[in-house]
Each structure stands twice: as C-alpha cells, then as structure tokens.
Chain A
Amino acid sequence: MFDRHQEIPLAHDRAGRLLPWIIALMIFLAVLATAGAMILLRSVGNLTGGLSGTMTVHLPTGGMSDAEADKRSARAANVLRRTPGVTRVRVLGRDRVAKLVAPWLGEDTRGLPLPRLLDVSLERGASINLGEIRRQVRTIVPGAAVVDHQRFVQGIFDLSQWVFLCGLLVAFVVLVACALTIIFATRTSLRIHHNVTEVLNLIGAQDSYVAKQFERHTFRQGLIGGAAGTLAAAVLLAALSAFAGGPMIAVDGGLVPVWLWVLIATFPFLSAFLARFTARFTVLRTLARMG
C-alpha cells in the first residue's frame, strides 16, 4: 500500500513534465561555463608559465665592429648580473642571433647590423627597477631596449582571471535561473494540488510532511535533468579535447584533467539538491502564506 502512490499525485502532473528538460538545459550551460572557465585559466597558466620570470635586452650594434659589439654586450651583461633580483644573464652573440632571424632574413646575414640579445632570468616575484636598468644599459649601448615579459604575461593572466570569474558568474546565474524555474514549477504544482494538500493539513499533516512529498519528487527531477545535462556537456568536452587539441591548448593532463571531470561529475547531485531545497523552501513559504 502506498508503494506506488504518493499522497500527492505529482508524478502525473503535465505541468511538471517539462521541468527535467529545463533543468537539463540549465545544467548543461552551467557545466560548460564552469569547465570553460577552468580550462581557460589552466591553459593560460601553462602557456605563459615559460615566459614569466624573464626579460630580454636588445642591444643595437649599428656602426660598431663585431669585436666592439661583443665587448659592450659583455659589459652590459655584467651590469645586469650585479643587479639584485637577476639570477642569470645569457648573452646571445652574433651567431646565435643570426640563427634566430634566419627564417626571415636568410642564412647569409654577413654585413647586416644584427643586434645582440641578453636573455635575463629573474627571481620569482622580484621587483625590478626597469627604468634604472634601462638607464644603465643605455650608457653602455645607446638605444638599448628592455622588454619585460613579466608585464606582458601578467596582463594576459589578469585578463584570463577576469574571464574565469565571468565564467563562474555565468554558471552561478544559470543556477539561480534554474532555482527560479523550480520555484515557479513548485508553486504551479501546489496550486494544482491545493485540494489534496488542504485535506492532508486537515487530517493533521505538518507543512513539512507536505513539503517532503514535493522534495522527493523534485529531487528526482533534478537528478535526472542534471544527469542528462551533465552528460551532454561531458560528451561535448570530450569531443573538444579529442579533436580541438593542438599546441594552443595542449596542456599537461589533456584539455580536461581528471580533477575537472570529478568536479563535473558532481553537477547532477548539485542539481538534485538545489531542486530539493528550492522545492522545500517554496512549499513551506507558500503554505505559511496561505495559512
């Protein structure tokens, strides 16, 4: 007795049939927004990790002899080595620079005024006085330029963090919309079954008893809808990581690492509990207001 029959025949609602589909759609979007945000942050971190903590100094050598240019580069390198925060300075001589520019200028660079380069490694988090370095280096090689990758990397990284936060915000907003939909559906359902809930109350049922029936039903809808939406998003992400690889997003552990899959797998439960508590809250509040 009562095994199949609930006191409130919610499973037969036509109005409620749509809810799992809506939940599925919302959870699909929430998973994509969350996963997208995580993937972006991780990829940017991986891509820029190699650049951060370095600085490049260009030493133009127009009008100098090779010997003169080498001497001045060595002096500039020494100045940098004495600067606090600098861990290593590598001088890229004429041959090395020639190799770097070969793809554009060809193998034969004799007679071309090639600059010398200094590849400078910095301590992590070191605060370098760029202006001072530039001034000192220019006294040795006029027109020297200091390129701070740190700053460029930081810019990209900051941007990616904003986009990451926006992704999470989108996921949050979608979940709020999902909760609002559940509130609306639960209110409709309460109206449809008003005579049943009234009889239950007259017989001595607490509001929480009535709410429990809605909770059970909505929990199931949230779980089913959430699972469907999550599965769809997971399939899409798996396809992306299989086909859309390439150097730009090739990161350690693949596009979607294991921990992110685990996070994604929690979404059906997140959806189910969101549905359940939203339904409970709505029923209790609506009944109390009718009180």
Chain B
Amino acid sequence: MNSSQPIVRFDRVAMRYEGGPDVLQDVSFALPQGSFHFLTGESGAGKTSLLRLIYLAGKPSSGRVEVFGHDVQTLTRADVPNIRRHVGVVFQDFRLLDHLSALENVALPLRVGGARGQKVRQHVAELMRWVGLAEHMDARPSTLSGGEQQRVAIARAVINRPSLLLADEPTGNVDDRMGMRLLYLFEELNRMGTTVVIATHNDSLVRRFNYPQITLAGGGLNAA
C-alpha cells in the first residue's frame, strides 16, 4: 500500500443478504488516506451494510471492494485479523462483552494484539477519562446508560489508533454537547492520520462539521 492509494475503494459494488434483494447497488467511491467522511442516508438505506463490507464481515455480491489495497474476494480467513487490527469499528449495537468491565472492554483490542501490563491500564484509563467514563471503569456494560455504553464502544474502537475508523451512528445516544466532544476526538485521530467514516442521522453535526458526505439512497449512491 503506497500513500497515494485509497484506503478503501468500492467499484460498482452490489450487495445483498442471503435470499434478499440488493441492499446496495452500483456503489462506487474511494476514501483517500487521511480523509474524513460522513456516511448518510435514511434508515434502511444500507449504511451499516456498507460498513460491514469494509470491516470484512460481508462480501459484495458483485463489483469489487478493496481495503488497504486488498481485494476482499481474495482474502483468506487468516488474512482478515491482520487487516481488522488496523480498523477500529464502533458498532451500531455496540457489541460490548458483558462479563468484562468497561475498562476491560476498552483494553480488548490491545489484549488481542498481545499487549499486557500496567502501561495498557494507564493508556486505557486516560482515554476513558477523556470520553467521560472515569467513574465507570469497573462497571459492567449492562449497568451503564446507552450513551455510556456508546462511549465505551468508541473508546474500544480508537484505543489502537487505527488507520481506519468506522463509526456507525456513534452519537445516537448522547446529547449534543457529548456528540461534539466525540466528534472532536475523531478529528483528533484524523489529524494523526486516521481515515474516518461516520455513519449518522445527525444532520446538525453533519452541517456543523462540514466534511464530505457519502449519501445512500435506494441502494445507490449520491455523492455530495
């Protein structure tokens, strides 16, 4: 992967769930390295489905998806983890592990990457303070509010300083002030080189931050 190559490229991509109709149709775009995009479109337009293709949880039914220069059709199961370690994902449904504390959830990507010890804890705790979870580090996710869980999910997605951050509705459960704060966090990461894609319904945030949009409508794409 050289620096001029896009981090993600979709070329006439269609995608459907097993037995269903096309959810995405003829979608083409490229995300240059270091870019910041909003992914918009009404509910059911296919935002989550598109992000799934990027984090390798699905394959296109036609067309070509490239992530970090790899054609996803040619990737083997053994290749996938190495790519995913460079991708931070905030899932729309958070996907936190409830038998672990909030802090352990956030530390998980570091653990999986082989990191251990006190340094990890400090690093994790610092980030959790930043997203306003200082009081909740030892709490189980199920005992946290929706907005708090969302911030745990965000902290987990960014703890590794990923090259690519995919956030699916990351401000859906927080008030505007916290929404702004989280966007600043994403901007901060973006300044350090992370390519950012944020799927959102929140028009006021989209307007205020004025980044380019990828808009899905009727399975296809309206680039704005």
Contacts and interface: CB of A to CB of B under 8 A. Distances in A.
Interface of A: 1-2, 5, 7, 9, 12, 195-196, 199-207, 209, 287-288, 291
A2 B111 CA distance: 9
B198 to A, nearest CB: 18
B97 A204 contact: no
A199 B112 contact: no
- Interface size class, chain B: 20 to 34
Interface of B: 55, 57, 77-78, 80-82, 84-85, 87, 89, 91, 95, 97, 99-101, 103-104, 107-109, 111-113, 120-121, 156
A1 B113 contact: no
A199 B97 contact: yes
A275 B144 CA distance: 38
B178 to A, nearest CB: 24
B97 A196 contact: yes
A205 B82 CA distance: 8
B108 A203 contact: yes
Contacts of A12: 99
In the A-B complex, list the 9 residue pairs whose CB atoms are closest, starting with the nearest.
A204-B85, A204-B84, A9-B99, A205-B112, A291-B77, A206-B81, A204-B81, A203-B109, A199-B95
29 contacts: A2-B104, A2-B107, A5-B99, A5-B101, A7-B108, A7-B111, A9-B99, A196-B97, A199-B97, A200-B108, A200-B112, A201-B80, A201-B81, A202-B57, A202-B91, A202-B95, A203-B84, A203-B112, A204-B82, A204-B84, A204-B85, A204-B109, A204-B113, A205-B81, A206-B81, A207-B77, A207-B78, A288-B77, A291-B77
A207 B80 CA distance: 10
Chain A interface main SS type? helix
Contacts of A291: 77
A209 B95 contact: no
Contacts of A2: 104, 107, 111
A195 to B, nearest CB: 8
Contacts of A205: 81, 112
Contacts of A202: 55, 57, 84, 89, 91, 95
A199 to B, nearest CB: 5
Contacts of B84: 201-204
Given A200-B112, A203-B84, A204-B81, A1 B97 contact: no
Contacts of A206: 78, 81
Contacts of B95: 195, 199, 202
Given A1-B121, A291-B77, A209 B97 contact: no
Most buried by B among A200, A204, A207: A204
Nearest to A288: B77
Given A202-B84, A205-B81, A207-B77, A5 B112 contact: no
A291 B84 CA distance: 15
A12 B87 CA distance: 31
A5 B81 contact: no
Given A199-B95, A199-B97, A291-B77, A209 B112 contact: yes
B24 to A, nearest CB: 20
Nearest to A199: B95
Given A200-B112, A204-B113, A1 B77 contact: no
